[in-house]
Amino acid sequence: MEVVCAIIFNAEKKVFAARRKEGLSFEGYWEFPGGKIEKDEDAVTAIERELQEELNLRLSPTKELHRLTWRNKNGEFELIAFAFQSELEGMKLSDHDESAWCRMEELLELNLMVADMALLPQVEPYLNSL
């Protein structure tokens, strides 16, 4: 299974994270928005669709940032992270009940999904290179 996520950063180089709302799998955990790649979809199409569904925004990635293989209670998957630059004007949360713009050290304080946490060593150097 392949899963995509969005590492969205703003002009201040803060990273967007959102908390999964009650009733969803992994409720209460913070994450980078995204989801499963559907049949007949490529990774870019999937992340653009997920952001439309979860944040009500049309965004295009600036680049593929990193891929990693992970296993959780739902099985093994490949996580494909894309970088986006946006201030998220007009965003409306659908799968989340809270969101925040975070500095790298603030992300470490969140109850962040473990696979998303594993992306942080790639996120920090990328943001520092901008």
Sequence ranges of the domains in the chain: 2-129
> Per-residue pLDDT for 30 more than 80?
yes
Q: Burial, 124: exposed, middle or buried (Cβ in 10 Å; 0-12, 13-18, 19+)?
A: middle
% of the chain residues with pLDDT over 90: 89
CATH fold, domain 2-129, is Nucleoside Triphosphate Pyrophosphohydrolase (3.90.79)
The pLDDT tens digits for 37-92 are 999 999 999 999 999 999 999 999 999 999 999 887 778 989 999 999 999 999 99
Nearest residue to 86 (alpha-carbon basis) of 125, 42, 47 = 47
Q: Are strands 75-85 and 2-9 parallel, antiparallel or unpaired?
A: parallel
Task: Provide the pLDDT for residue 71.
Answer: 83
Residue 101: how many other CB atoms lie within 10 Å? 16
**Residue 127 confidence (pLDDT):** 94
Confirm whether pTM is higher than 0.85. yes
Adjacent-strand bridge partners of 78: 2, 69
